[in-house]
């Protein structure tokens, strides 16, 4: 069991994490953002350090704003530092036929039967960072797990820092437009997370 204290006074959370018994086929959604990058690293590292011997497969949703490039960079970086290349990478390309906030739901539905367990790095979204969008509400099942469901962006920034994986800050993207616009929901949430933890802000 992995356990760590995250956040500042007034917003502290005790985060606990574990993986299933050995030999499972586990899918992890990797979007190219901070949350999924932290989750992918945590799962790969924990799986190896605890000799779980699960097969970890990253799942990428291809998007125009650049998540394909960033997600693959995250996967390659994590695989390299844990010295374990992913046996395969599952990719979805909905080609604008699905609204962005529905892509995760559709990809989940299409993937769930292919894995023993599916992990998604959805976090708590503050109202001011969800203007004009439908907030994804996670519902866990025996196969579907959302380890970060009780955490917000500041907790994720803190987690990455405490795991000594700050390179993930520069490898990930949060901007909804992929240009570091500083005004979209993703940019403002990312900036809020870094500002809250008083950590240097990494663009995009």
**Choice between 174 and 47, residue whose per-residue pLDDT is larger:** 47
- Across the chain, what does the average pLDDT equal? 88
Q: For position 155, what pLDDT does the model report? A: 98
Q: What is the pLDDT of residue 20?
A: 87
* Residues 14-33: tens digit of each pLDDT: 999 999 888 999 999 998 89
Check pLDDT > 90 for residue 197. yes
**The predicted structure's pLDDT at residue 24:** 95
User: Predicted confidence band at 179 (pLDDT cuts at 50, 70, 90)?
Assistant: confident
The rounded distance, in Å, linking the Cα atoms of 162 and 5 is 10
Average pLDDT estimate for 36-44: 97
Q: What is the pLDDT of residue 99?
A: 60
- pLDDT band per the 50, 70, 90 thresholds, residue 203: low
Classify residue 43 as exposed, middle or buried by CB count within 10 Å of its CB (0-12, 13-18, 19+).
buried
Closest CA to 8 of 172, 162, 175: 162
Cα→Cα distances 39→28, 43, 183, Å: 8, 6, 26
pLDDT tens, position by position, 106-151: 788 888 889 999 999 999 998 888 888 777 777 888 899 999 999 9
**Which residue, 156, 143, 145, 142, is CA-closest to 15?**
156
The proportion of the chain whose per-residue pLDDT surpasses 70, expressed as a percent, equals 91
How many C-beta atoms lie closer than 10 Å to residue 28's C-beta? 27
Q: Which pLDDT score is estimated for 149?
A: 95
Whether the pTM exceeds 0.95: the reply is: no
Q: CA gyration radius for the chain? A: 16
Question: Domain 21-197 - what CATH class?
Answer: alpha beta
Confidence label for 180 from pLDDT (cuts 50, 70 and 90): confident
* pLDDT at residue number 5: 98
CA 189 to centroid of chain Cα atoms = 14
- What is the rounded CA–CA span in Å between residue 83 and residue 175? 30
Residue 166 pLDDT level (bands cut at 50, 70, 90): very high
Residue 83 predicted with pLDDT over 90 = yes
Q: Is the pLDDT of residue 87 over 90?
A: no
State the DSSP H helix or E strand holding residue 33, giving kind and residue range, or none if neither.
none
* d(C-alpha 103, C-alpha 176), whole Å: 14
Q: Is the pLDDT of residue 176 over 60?
A: yes
Rounded CA-CA distance 73/70 in Å is: 5
């Amino acid at each position: 069991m992995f356990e760590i204290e995250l956040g500042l006074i007034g917003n502290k959370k005790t985060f606990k994490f574990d993986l299933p018994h050995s030999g499972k086929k586990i899918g992890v959604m990797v979007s190219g953002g901070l949350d999924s990058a932290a989750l992918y690293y945590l799962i790969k590292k924990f799986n190896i350090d605890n000799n779980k011997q699960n097969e970890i497969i990253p799942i990428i949703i291809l998007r125009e704003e650049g998540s394909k490039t960033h997600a693959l960079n995250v996967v390659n970086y994590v695989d390299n530092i844990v010295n374990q290349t992913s046996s395969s990478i599952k990719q979805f390309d909905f080609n604008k036929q699905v609204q962005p906030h529905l892509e995760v739901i559709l990809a989940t539905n299409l993937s769930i039967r292919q894995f023993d367990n599916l992990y998604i790095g959805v976090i708590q979204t503050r109202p001011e960072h969800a203007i004009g969008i439908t907030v994804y509400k996670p519902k866990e099942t025996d196969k579907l797990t959302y380890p970060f469901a009780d955490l917000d962006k500041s907790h994720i920034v803190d987690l990455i820092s405490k795991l000594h994986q700050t390179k993930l800050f520069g490898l990930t993207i949060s901007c909804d437009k992929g240009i570091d616009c500083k005004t979209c929901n993703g940019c403002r949430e990312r900036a809020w997370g870094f500002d809250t933890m008083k950590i240097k802000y990494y663009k995009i």
